[in-house]
Structure 1
Amino acid sequence: MSFRNKLPHFLVKKLGISNKEVMELLIAKRIKVNGKVTSANVAIEPEDEVMLDNTIIQASKEFKYIAFYKPAGIETTLNEDIADSLKSLLPFEGIFPVGRLDKASEGLMLLTDDGRLYDKTLRKEFKTEKEYLVKVDKCIDSDFVENMQNGITIMGKKTLPCKVHIESDFWFKIILVQGLNRQIRRMCYKLGYEVKVLKRIRMGGVSIDNLQVGAWRFIKKKDIFEH
Protein backbone atom coordinates (compact mmCIF):
# COMPACT_ATOMS: atom_id res chain seq x y z
CA MET A 1 0.00 0.00 0.00
CA SER A 2 1.44 3.37 -1.02
CA PHE A 3 2.25 5.85 1.74
CA ARG A 4 -0.02 8.26 -0.15
CA ASN A 5 -2.98 6.24 1.12
CA LYS A 6 -1.87 6.44 4.73
CA LEU A 7 -3.45 8.73 7.31
CA PRO A 8 -0.44 11.06 7.93
CA HIS A 9 -0.08 11.90 4.23
CA PHE A 10 -3.85 12.42 3.99
CA LEU A 11 -3.78 14.86 6.92
CA VAL A 12 -0.78 16.78 5.60
CA LYS A 13 -2.55 17.31 2.28
CA LYS A 14 -6.00 17.97 3.74
CA LEU A 15 -5.01 20.29 6.59
CA GLY A 16 -1.94 21.91 5.01
CA ILE A 17 0.23 21.21 8.05
CA SER A 18 3.62 19.57 8.63
CA ASN A 19 4.32 15.91 9.38
CA LYS A 20 5.35 16.92 12.90
CA GLU A 21 2.02 18.67 13.50
CA VAL A 22 0.16 15.65 12.13
CA MET A 23 1.96 13.33 14.56
CA GLU A 24 1.11 15.67 17.43
CA LEU A 25 -2.59 15.44 16.50
CA LEU A 26 -2.39 11.65 16.36
CA ILE A 27 -0.56 11.36 19.68
CA ALA A 28 -3.16 13.66 21.27
CA LYS A 29 -5.87 11.31 19.89
CA ARG A 30 -7.63 14.21 18.19
CA ILE A 31 -8.09 12.32 14.91
CA LYS A 32 -10.85 9.77 14.45
CA VAL A 33 -11.52 7.53 11.44
CA ASN A 34 -15.06 6.18 11.26
CA GLY A 35 -15.64 7.29 14.82
CA LYS A 36 -12.54 5.65 16.31
CA VAL A 37 -9.12 6.90 17.32
CA THR A 38 -6.67 5.09 15.09
CA SER A 39 -2.96 4.61 14.37
CA ALA A 40 -0.85 6.41 11.78
CA ASN A 41 -0.60 3.21 9.77
CA VAL A 42 -4.24 3.09 8.67
CA ALA A 43 -5.08 3.61 5.00
CA ILE A 44 -7.72 6.19 4.14
CA GLU A 45 -10.31 5.40 1.48
CA PRO A 46 -13.04 7.66 0.06
CA GLU A 47 -15.70 5.80 2.06
CA ASP A 48 -13.94 6.61 5.38
CA GLU A 49 -15.14 9.47 7.58
CA VAL A 50 -12.21 11.41 9.07
CA MET A 51 -12.66 13.90 11.92
CA LEU A 52 -10.44 16.38 13.75
CA ASP A 53 -12.01 16.88 17.15
CA ASN A 54 -15.67 17.48 16.19
CA THR A 55 -14.98 18.74 12.68
CA ILE A 56 -15.42 16.46 9.67
CA ILE A 57 -12.33 16.60 7.43
CA GLN A 58 -13.66 14.02 4.99
CA ALA A 59 -17.25 12.85 4.84
CA SER A 60 -17.87 9.21 4.10
CA LYS A 61 -18.77 8.56 0.47
CA GLU A 62 -21.20 5.79 -0.36
CA PHE A 63 -20.55 3.90 -3.58
CA LYS A 64 -23.05 1.90 -5.59
CA TYR A 65 -22.31 -1.70 -6.59
CA ILE A 66 -24.81 -3.29 -8.94
CA ALA A 67 -25.21 -6.76 -10.47
CA PHE A 68 -26.99 -6.53 -13.82
CA TYR A 69 -28.14 -9.15 -16.32
CA LYS A 70 -27.19 -7.75 -19.71
CA PRO A 71 -29.41 -9.06 -22.48
CA ALA A 72 -27.92 -10.21 -25.77
CA GLY A 73 -28.13 -7.42 -28.35
CA ILE A 74 -27.17 -4.65 -25.90
CA GLU A 75 -23.91 -2.72 -26.33
CA THR A 76 -21.69 -2.38 -23.26
CA THR A 77 -21.72 1.41 -23.32
CA LEU A 78 -23.49 4.25 -21.55
CA ASN A 79 -23.40 6.44 -24.67
CA GLU A 80 -26.90 7.88 -25.03
CA ASP A 81 -26.42 8.27 -28.79
CA ILE A 82 -26.36 4.47 -29.18
CA ALA A 83 -29.90 3.09 -29.17
CA ASP A 84 -29.09 -0.39 -27.80
CA SER A 85 -26.91 0.78 -24.92
CA LEU A 86 -26.88 0.04 -21.20
CA LYS A 87 -28.12 3.59 -20.69
CA SER A 88 -31.44 2.63 -22.27
CA LEU A 89 -32.02 -0.02 -19.57
CA LEU A 90 -30.56 1.43 -16.37
CA PRO A 91 -31.97 4.29 -14.24
CA PHE A 92 -28.62 5.30 -12.69
CA GLU A 93 -26.33 8.29 -13.23
CA GLY A 94 -22.57 8.31 -12.75
CA ILE A 95 -22.01 4.55 -12.91
CA PHE A 96 -19.93 2.57 -15.38
CA PRO A 97 -19.56 -1.11 -16.30
CA VAL A 98 -16.64 -3.09 -14.90
CA GLY A 99 -15.47 -5.05 -17.92
CA ARG A 100 -17.32 -5.74 -21.12
CA LEU A 101 -19.59 -8.29 -22.73
CA ASP A 102 -19.80 -8.16 -26.52
CA LYS A 103 -23.16 -7.29 -28.03
CA ALA A 104 -24.06 -10.89 -28.88
CA SER A 105 -23.28 -12.15 -25.36
CA GLU A 106 -25.49 -11.99 -22.28
CA GLY A 107 -25.23 -12.38 -18.56
CA LEU A 108 -23.73 -10.84 -15.45
CA MET A 109 -22.20 -7.38 -15.47
CA LEU A 110 -20.97 -5.37 -12.51
CA LEU A 111 -21.65 -1.63 -12.49
CA THR A 112 -20.35 0.93 -10.03
CA ASP A 113 -19.30 4.53 -9.43
CA ASP A 114 -16.18 3.30 -7.59
CA GLY A 115 -13.24 3.79 -9.94
CA ARG A 116 -10.95 1.59 -7.87
CA LEU A 117 -12.99 -1.52 -8.61
CA TYR A 118 -11.90 -1.76 -12.24
CA ASP A 119 -8.27 -2.72 -11.56
CA LYS A 120 -9.09 -5.01 -8.65
CA THR A 121 -11.60 -6.94 -10.73
CA LEU A 122 -10.09 -7.08 -14.20
CA ARG A 123 -6.30 -7.12 -13.88
CA LYS A 124 -5.14 -10.72 -14.13
CA GLU A 125 -2.73 -10.44 -11.20
CA PHE A 126 -5.72 -10.08 -8.86
CA LYS A 127 -7.03 -13.42 -10.23
CA THR A 128 -10.70 -12.49 -10.04
CA GLU A 129 -12.54 -15.37 -11.68
CA LYS A 130 -15.07 -14.85 -14.47
CA GLU A 131 -17.28 -17.86 -15.18
CA TYR A 132 -19.22 -18.43 -18.41
CA LEU A 133 -21.74 -20.93 -19.73
CA VAL A 134 -21.15 -21.54 -23.43
CA LYS A 135 -22.93 -23.42 -26.22
CA VAL A 136 -21.02 -24.34 -29.39
CA ASP A 137 -22.14 -25.65 -32.78
CA LYS A 138 -20.78 -29.20 -32.53
CA CYS A 139 -20.02 -31.91 -30.03
CA ILE A 140 -17.29 -31.14 -27.49
CA ASP A 141 -14.48 -33.67 -27.10
CA SER A 142 -11.57 -34.15 -24.71
CA ASP A 143 -9.10 -32.51 -27.12
CA PHE A 144 -11.22 -29.36 -27.09
CA VAL A 145 -11.20 -29.26 -23.30
CA GLU A 146 -7.46 -29.90 -23.03
CA ASN A 147 -6.58 -27.21 -25.57
CA MET A 148 -8.86 -24.65 -23.99
CA GLN A 149 -7.47 -25.34 -20.51
CA ASN A 150 -3.81 -25.20 -21.55
CA GLY A 151 -4.12 -21.96 -23.51
CA ILE A 152 -4.55 -20.97 -27.15
CA THR A 153 -2.72 -18.29 -29.10
CA ILE A 154 -5.10 -15.52 -30.14
CA MET A 155 -4.22 -12.01 -31.26
CA GLY A 156 -0.53 -12.87 -30.99
CA LYS A 157 -0.56 -14.04 -27.35
CA LYS A 158 -1.28 -17.29 -25.59
CA THR A 159 -4.21 -17.26 -23.20
CA LEU A 160 -3.60 -18.13 -19.56
CA PRO A 161 -4.50 -21.61 -18.30
CA CYS A 162 -8.17 -21.84 -17.36
CA LYS A 163 -10.77 -24.31 -16.09
CA VAL A 164 -13.22 -26.01 -18.45
CA HIS A 165 -16.06 -28.38 -17.53
CA ILE A 166 -18.29 -30.18 -20.04
CA GLU A 167 -21.99 -29.77 -19.20
CA SER A 168 -23.39 -31.73 -22.18
CA ASP A 169 -22.51 -32.49 -25.82
CA PHE A 170 -22.69 -28.84 -26.87
CA TRP A 171 -22.46 -26.92 -23.58
CA PHE A 172 -19.47 -26.22 -21.34
CA LYS A 173 -18.48 -23.93 -18.49
CA ILE A 174 -15.22 -22.00 -18.52
CA ILE A 175 -13.54 -19.99 -15.75
CA LEU A 176 -11.04 -17.28 -16.74
CA VAL A 177 -8.90 -14.84 -14.78
CA GLN A 178 -8.22 -12.66 -17.82
CA GLY A 179 -10.51 -10.94 -20.28
CA LEU A 180 -9.05 -10.47 -23.73
CA ASN A 181 -11.32 -9.04 -26.41
CA ARG A 182 -13.87 -11.71 -27.44
CA GLN A 183 -11.53 -14.25 -25.83
CA ILE A 184 -13.84 -17.26 -25.59
CA ARG A 185 -15.20 -16.81 -29.10
CA ARG A 186 -11.68 -16.50 -30.51
CA MET A 187 -10.43 -19.54 -28.58
CA CYS A 188 -13.30 -21.68 -29.82
CA TYR A 189 -12.85 -20.46 -33.40
CA LYS A 190 -9.18 -21.50 -33.34
CA LEU A 191 -10.34 -25.03 -32.51
CA GLY A 192 -12.96 -25.10 -35.26
CA TYR A 193 -15.99 -24.33 -33.10
CA GLU A 194 -18.51 -21.52 -33.34
CA VAL A 195 -20.06 -20.05 -30.21
CA LYS A 196 -23.85 -20.03 -30.36
CA VAL A 197 -24.62 -18.85 -26.81
CA LEU A 198 -22.27 -17.12 -24.37
CA LYS A 199 -23.54 -16.22 -20.94
CA ARG A 200 -21.45 -14.89 -18.04
CA ILE A 201 -22.78 -16.38 -14.82
CA ARG A 202 -20.27 -15.22 -12.21
CA MET A 203 -17.68 -12.51 -11.50
CA GLY A 204 -15.63 -13.17 -8.37
CA GLY A 205 -18.07 -13.98 -5.58
CA VAL A 206 -21.12 -12.55 -7.34
CA SER A 207 -23.30 -14.99 -9.28
CA ILE A 208 -26.16 -14.20 -11.61
CA ASP A 209 -28.43 -16.38 -9.43
CA ASN A 210 -32.10 -15.68 -10.14
CA LEU A 211 -31.67 -12.35 -11.93
CA GLN A 212 -33.99 -12.09 -14.89
CA VAL A 213 -32.79 -10.76 -18.24
CA GLY A 214 -32.54 -6.95 -18.01
CA ALA A 215 -32.92 -6.91 -14.21
CA TRP A 216 -30.45 -5.67 -11.59
CA ARG A 217 -29.81 -5.80 -7.84
CA PHE A 218 -27.56 -3.93 -5.41
CA ILE A 219 -24.63 -5.87 -4.00
CA LYS A 220 -21.83 -5.15 -1.52
CA LYS A 221 -18.25 -4.58 -2.55
CA LYS A 222 -17.00 -7.37 -0.29
CA ASP A 223 -19.28 -9.84 -2.09
CA ILE A 224 -17.22 -9.45 -5.27
CA PHE A 225 -14.02 -10.69 -3.65
CA GLU A 226 -15.52 -13.42 -1.47
CA HIS A 227 -14.99 -16.63 -3.43
Structure 2
Amino acid sequence: METPLKRINKYLSEAGYCSRREADRLIEEGAVTINGKIPEMGTKVAPSDEVRVKGKLVTEPKSDFVYLAFHKPRGIVCTTDTRREKDNIINYINYPERIFPIGRLDKYSEGLIFLTNDGDIVNKILRARNNHEKEYIVRLNKPIKGDFIQKMAKGVPILDTVTKKCHVEQLGKETFKIILTQGLNRQIRRMCEYFDYKVASLKRIRIMNVTLDIEKGKWRYLSESELKEINQLVSNSSKTYDN
Protein backbone atom coordinates (compact mmCIF):
# COMPACT_ATOMS: atom_id res chain seq x y z
CA MET A 1 0.00 0.00 0.00
CA GLU A 2 1.38 3.37 -1.03
CA THR A 3 2.21 5.74 1.85
CA PRO A 4 0.06 8.90 1.60
CA LEU A 5 1.91 12.16 1.08
CA LYS A 6 1.05 15.38 2.90
CA ARG A 7 1.32 18.97 1.79
CA ILE A 8 4.22 20.68 3.53
CA ASN A 9 1.96 23.19 5.32
CA LYS A 10 -0.23 20.37 6.66
CA TYR A 11 2.87 18.43 7.74
CA LEU A 12 4.20 21.41 9.71
CA SER A 13 0.84 22.07 11.38
CA GLU A 14 0.36 18.43 12.38
CA ALA A 15 3.91 18.35 13.69
CA GLY A 16 2.87 21.10 16.06
CA TYR A 17 5.36 23.55 14.57
CA CYS A 18 2.89 26.26 13.48
CA SER A 19 -0.49 26.83 11.87
CA ARG A 20 -0.87 26.23 8.13
CA ARG A 21 -1.16 29.96 7.56
CA GLU A 22 2.15 30.53 9.33
CA ALA A 23 3.66 27.58 7.44
CA ASP A 24 2.74 29.23 4.14
CA ARG A 25 4.49 32.41 5.25
CA LEU A 26 7.63 30.48 6.20
CA ILE A 27 7.60 28.66 2.85
CA GLU A 28 7.26 31.95 0.96
CA GLU A 29 10.21 33.34 2.92
CA GLY A 30 12.34 30.35 1.94
CA ALA A 31 12.75 29.31 5.58
CA VAL A 32 11.59 25.72 4.93
CA THR A 33 13.64 22.99 3.28
CA ILE A 34 12.80 19.43 2.27
CA ASN A 35 15.89 17.26 1.92
CA GLY A 36 17.99 20.40 1.76
CA LYS A 37 15.97 22.08 -1.01
CA ILE A 38 13.53 24.98 -0.76
CA PRO A 39 10.07 23.67 -1.77
CA GLU A 40 7.32 25.33 -3.74
CA MET A 41 3.96 26.05 -2.15
CA GLY A 42 1.92 22.84 -2.11
CA THR A 43 4.90 20.48 -2.28
CA LYS A 44 4.09 17.13 -0.67
CA VAL A 45 6.19 15.37 1.96
CA ALA A 46 6.88 11.65 2.40
CA PRO A 47 7.59 10.12 5.84
CA SER A 48 11.22 9.55 4.80
CA ASP A 49 11.80 13.22 3.88
CA GLU A 50 13.89 15.50 6.07
CA VAL A 51 12.01 18.73 6.82
CA ARG A 52 13.76 21.69 8.38
CA VAL A 53 12.60 25.20 9.31
CA LYS A 54 15.39 27.78 9.54
CA GLY A 55 17.81 24.87 9.66
CA LYS A 56 16.09 23.13 12.58
CA LEU A 57 14.82 19.59 12.04
CA VAL A 58 11.05 19.14 12.36
CA THR A 59 10.19 15.74 13.80
CA GLU A 60 7.39 13.41 12.72
CA PRO A 61 3.85 14.73 13.27
CA LYS A 62 2.79 14.17 16.87
CA SER A 63 -0.49 12.81 18.17
CA ASP A 64 -0.30 14.31 21.67
CA PHE A 65 -1.80 17.75 21.41
CA VAL A 66 -2.11 20.41 24.10
CA TYR A 67 -4.85 23.02 24.33
CA LEU A 68 -4.50 26.04 26.60
CA ALA A 69 -6.85 28.86 27.60
CA PHE A 70 -4.93 32.03 28.48
CA HIS A 71 -5.99 35.39 29.91
CA LYS A 72 -3.82 37.69 27.82
CA PRO A 73 -2.88 40.94 29.52
CA ARG A 74 -2.81 44.26 27.71
CA GLY A 75 0.61 44.87 26.14
CA ILE A 76 1.34 41.25 25.13
CA VAL A 77 1.53 40.59 21.37
CA CYS A 78 -0.03 37.45 19.85
CA THR A 79 2.90 36.41 17.69
CA THR A 80 5.31 33.49 17.50
CA ASP A 81 8.04 35.82 16.23
CA THR A 82 10.08 35.84 19.43
CA ARG A 83 13.06 37.54 17.82
CA ARG A 84 11.36 40.70 16.58
CA GLU A 85 8.78 41.14 19.35
CA LYS A 86 10.09 41.00 22.92
CA ASP A 87 6.61 41.22 24.50
CA ASN A 88 5.35 38.12 22.69
CA ILE A 89 2.79 35.64 23.99
CA ILE A 90 5.11 32.63 23.60
CA ASN A 91 7.86 33.91 25.87
CA TYR A 92 5.29 35.27 28.32
CA ILE A 93 3.64 31.87 28.84
CA ASN A 94 6.97 29.98 28.53
CA TYR A 95 5.28 26.62 27.91
CA PRO A 96 7.79 23.73 27.64
CA GLU A 97 6.52 22.62 24.20
CA ARG A 98 6.14 24.62 21.02
CA ILE A 99 2.63 26.12 20.86
CA PHE A 100 0.99 28.92 18.91
CA PRO A 101 -2.10 31.11 19.41
CA ILE A 102 -5.41 30.45 17.67
CA GLY A 103 -6.27 33.82 16.18
CA ARG A 104 -5.26 37.11 17.73
CA LEU A 105 -6.05 39.75 20.30
CA ASP A 106 -4.35 43.03 19.48
CA LYS A 107 -1.63 44.37 21.75
CA TYR A 108 -3.88 46.81 23.57
CA SER A 109 -6.70 44.32 24.20
CA GLU A 110 -6.93 41.69 26.93
CA GLY A 111 -8.87 38.52 27.55
CA LEU A 112 -9.33 34.94 26.44
CA ILE A 113 -7.20 33.33 23.75
CA PHE A 114 -6.46 29.69 22.97
CA LEU A 115 -3.00 28.25 22.29
CA THR A 116 -2.24 24.79 20.93
CA ASN A 117 0.12 22.66 18.87
CA ASP A 118 -2.79 21.22 16.83
CA GLY A 119 -2.61 22.98 13.48
CA ASP A 120 -5.81 21.49 12.08
CA ILE A 121 -8.07 22.81 14.83
CA VAL A 122 -6.52 26.26 14.33
CA ASN A 123 -7.71 26.32 10.72
CA LYS A 124 -11.20 25.12 11.57
CA ILE A 125 -11.75 27.68 14.35
CA LEU A 126 -10.39 30.56 12.28
CA ARG A 127 -12.84 30.03 9.42
CA ALA A 128 -15.25 32.95 9.85
CA ARG A 129 -18.01 31.22 7.87
CA ASN A 130 -18.22 28.55 10.54
CA ASN A 131 -19.88 31.12 12.82
CA HIS A 132 -17.89 30.50 15.99
CA GLU A 133 -18.91 33.14 18.53
CA LYS A 134 -16.48 35.43 20.35
CA GLU A 135 -17.83 37.75 23.06
CA TYR A 136 -16.27 41.05 24.17
CA ILE A 137 -16.84 43.78 26.73
CA VAL A 138 -15.93 47.20 25.34
CA ARG A 139 -15.53 50.55 27.11
CA LEU A 140 -15.59 53.70 24.97
CA ASN A 141 -13.90 57.05 25.42
CA LYS A 142 -17.23 58.88 25.78
CA PRO A 143 -20.87 58.13 26.60
CA ILE A 144 -22.93 56.10 24.14
CA LYS A 145 -25.54 58.24 22.38
CA GLY A 146 -28.34 57.87 19.86
CA ASP A 147 -28.69 54.68 17.84
CA PHE A 148 -25.02 53.65 18.06
CA ILE A 149 -25.89 50.19 19.48
CA GLN A 150 -28.45 49.48 16.75
CA LYS A 151 -26.12 50.61 13.98
CA MET A 152 -23.24 48.49 15.32
CA ALA A 153 -25.53 45.45 15.33
CA LYS A 154 -26.75 45.94 11.76
CA GLY A 155 -23.28 45.99 10.19
CA VAL A 156 -20.61 48.62 9.65
CA PRO A 157 -18.67 49.44 6.46
CA ILE A 158 -14.96 48.86 7.21
CA LEU A 159 -12.02 47.43 5.25
CA ASP A 160 -13.93 47.46 1.92
CA THR A 161 -16.73 45.28 3.29
CA VAL A 162 -19.69 45.46 5.66
CA THR A 163 -19.43 43.56 8.94
CA LYS A 164 -21.88 40.76 9.61
CA LYS A 165 -24.95 41.46 11.71
CA CYS A 166 -24.17 40.75 15.34
CA HIS A 167 -25.54 40.95 18.88
CA VAL A 168 -24.72 44.23 20.65
CA GLU A 169 -26.03 45.15 24.10
CA GLN A 170 -25.41 48.30 26.12
CA LEU A 171 -24.18 47.55 29.64
CA GLY A 172 -23.45 51.01 31.01
CA LYS A 173 -22.99 54.66 30.14
CA GLU A 174 -19.83 53.98 28.14
CA THR A 175 -19.75 50.17 27.92
CA PHE A 176 -21.34 47.52 25.73
CA LYS A 177 -21.16 43.81 24.99
CA ILE A 178 -20.68 42.53 21.44
CA ILE A 179 -20.71 38.97 20.06
CA LEU A 180 -18.88 38.48 16.77
CA THR A 181 -18.55 35.59 14.36
CA GLN A 182 -15.93 37.41 12.28
CA GLY A 183 -12.30 38.19 12.89
CA LEU A 184 -11.46 41.20 10.73
CA ASN A 185 -8.32 43.12 11.60
CA ARG A 186 -9.01 45.36 14.63
CA GLN A 187 -12.70 44.89 13.82
CA ILE A 188 -14.34 46.32 16.95
CA ARG A 189 -12.00 49.30 17.10
CA ARG A 190 -12.65 50.10 13.42
CA MET A 191 -16.41 49.70 13.86
CA CYS A 192 -16.40 52.16 16.75
CA GLU A 193 -14.14 54.61 14.93
CA TYR A 194 -16.62 54.68 12.04
CA PHE A 195 -19.11 56.30 14.47
CA ASP A 196 -16.49 58.65 15.93
CA TYR A 197 -15.86 56.65 19.11
CA LYS A 198 -12.56 55.30 20.35
CA VAL A 199 -12.12 52.11 22.37
CA ALA A 200 -10.71 52.81 25.83
CA SER A 201 -10.57 49.14 26.81
CA LEU A 202 -11.49 45.87 25.16
CA LYS A 203 -11.75 42.46 26.83
CA ARG A 204 -12.66 39.12 25.25
CA ILE A 205 -14.68 37.10 27.76
CA ARG A 206 -15.75 34.09 25.68
CA ILE A 207 -14.72 31.97 22.70
CA MET A 208 -17.46 29.56 21.61
CA ASN A 209 -18.29 27.49 24.72
CA VAL A 210 -15.31 28.61 26.83
CA THR A 211 -15.69 31.61 29.14
CA LEU A 212 -12.92 33.64 30.73
CA ASP A 213 -12.45 32.28 34.26
CA ILE A 214 -8.71 32.79 34.68
CA GLU A 215 -6.75 35.54 36.41
CA LYS A 216 -5.00 37.99 34.13
CA GLY A 217 -1.67 36.59 32.94
CA LYS A 218 -2.57 33.00 33.91
CA TRP A 219 -3.41 29.96 31.77
CA ARG A 220 -5.09 26.59 32.21
CA TYR A 221 -5.65 23.48 30.12
CA LEU A 222 -8.99 23.19 28.39
CA SER A 223 -11.10 20.51 30.07
CA GLU A 224 -12.16 17.30 28.35
CA SER A 225 -15.78 18.48 28.26
CA GLU A 226 -14.76 21.84 26.75
CA LEU A 227 -12.65 20.09 24.09
CA LYS A 228 -15.44 17.65 23.32
CA GLU A 229 -17.87 20.50 22.71
CA ILE A 230 -15.34 22.47 20.66
CA ASN A 231 -14.75 19.42 18.46
CA GLN A 232 -18.51 19.08 18.01
CA LEU A 233 -18.79 22.76 17.08
CA VAL A 234 -16.01 22.51 14.48
CA SER A 235 -16.85 19.01 13.24
CA ASN A 236 -18.60 20.39 10.17
CA SER A 237 -16.14 23.22 9.71
CA SER A 238 -14.45 23.69 6.38
CA LYS A 239 -10.71 23.22 6.43
CA THR A 240 -8.62 26.00 4.99
CA TYR A 241 -6.75 23.62 2.71
CA ASP A 242 -7.18 20.16 1.23
CA ASN A 243 -4.67 17.37 1.68
Same fold (TM over 0.5): yes
Larger Cα Rg: Structure 1 or Structure 2? 1
Of residues 70, 83, 88, the one that matches 1:85 is 88
Check 1:13–1:109 CA distance in 2 against 1; reply closer, same or farther (3 A cut): farther
Alignment-derived partner of residue 190 in structure 2: 186
**1:123 matched to 2:127:** yes
Secondary structure at the counterpart of residue 66 of structure 1: strand
Of residues 67, 70, 74, the one that matches 2:72 is 70
Q: What root-mean-square deviation, in Å, do the aligned CA atoms of Structure 1 and Structure 2 show?
A: 2.2
Secondary structure at the counterpart of residue 199 of structure 1: strand
% identity of equivalent residues: 44
**CA displacement, residues 77-114 of structure 1 (integer Å, 9 cap, x when unaligned):** 12222211112211222211000011000000000111
Alignment-derived partner of residue 54 in structure 1: none
Looking at structure 2, the residues matched to 13 and 140 of structure 1 have their Cα atoms a distance apart, in angstroms, of: 63
Check 1:225–1:150 CA distance in 2 against 1; reply closer, same or farther (3 A cut): farther
**Which stretches in structure 1 are left out of the alignment for 5+ residues?**
1-11, 16-58
Tell me if the contact between 1:205 and 1:225 (Cα under 8 Å) persists in the aligned partners: no
Secondary structure at the counterpart of residue 200 of structure 1: strand
* Map 1:149-168 → 2, pairs under 5 A: 149-168=153-172
Check 1:167–1:61 CA distance in 2 against 1; reply closer, same or farther (3 A cut): same
* Map 1:7-156 → 2, pairs under 5 A: 12-14=1-3, 61-81=63-83, 82-92=85-95, 93-141=97-145, 143-156=147-160
Secondary structure at the counterpart of residue 191 of structure 2: helix
Tell me if the contact between 1:203 and 1:224 (Cα under 8 Å) persists in the aligned partners: no
Secondary structure at the counterpart of residue 184 of structure 1: helix
Q: CA deviation at 1:120?
A: 1.8
Runs of 4+ in 1 over 6 A off after TM superposition: none
**CA displacement, residues 122-173 of structure 1 (integer Å, 9 cap, x when unaligned):** 2122110011010001222351111111100101110011100111111111
Check 1:13–1:216 CA distance in 2 against 1; reply closer, same or farther (3 A cut): farther
**1:218 matched to 2:217:** no
Tell me if the contact between 1:139 and 1:170 (Cα under 8 Å) persists in the aligned partners: yes
Alignment-derived partner of residue 176 in structure 1: 180
Q: CA deviation at 1:67?
A: 0.2
Q: CA deviation at 1:225?
A: 5.4
Looking at structure 2, the residues matched to 60 and 87 of structure 1 have their Cα atoms a distance apart, in angstroms, of: 20
**Normalised by the size of structure 2, how large is the TM-score?**
0.67
Q: Which has the higher contact order (CA 8 A, sep 6+)?
A: 2
Looking at structure 2, the residues matched to 225 and 152 of structure 1 have their Cα atoms a distance apart, in angstroms, of: 31
Looking at structure 2, the residues matched to 186 and 76 of structure 1 have their Cα atoms a distance apart, in angstroms, of: 19
Looking at structure 1, the residues matched to 230 and 138 of structure 2 have their Cα atoms a distance apart, in angstroms, of: 22
Secondary structure at the counterpart of residue 151 of structure 2: helix
**Normalised by the size of structure 1, how large is the TM-score?**
0.71
**Which stretches in structure 2 are left out of the alignment for 5+ residues?**
5-60, 234-243
Check 1:87–1:170 CA distance in 2 against 1; reply closer, same or farther (3 A cut): same
For 1:215, the aligned partner's letter is K
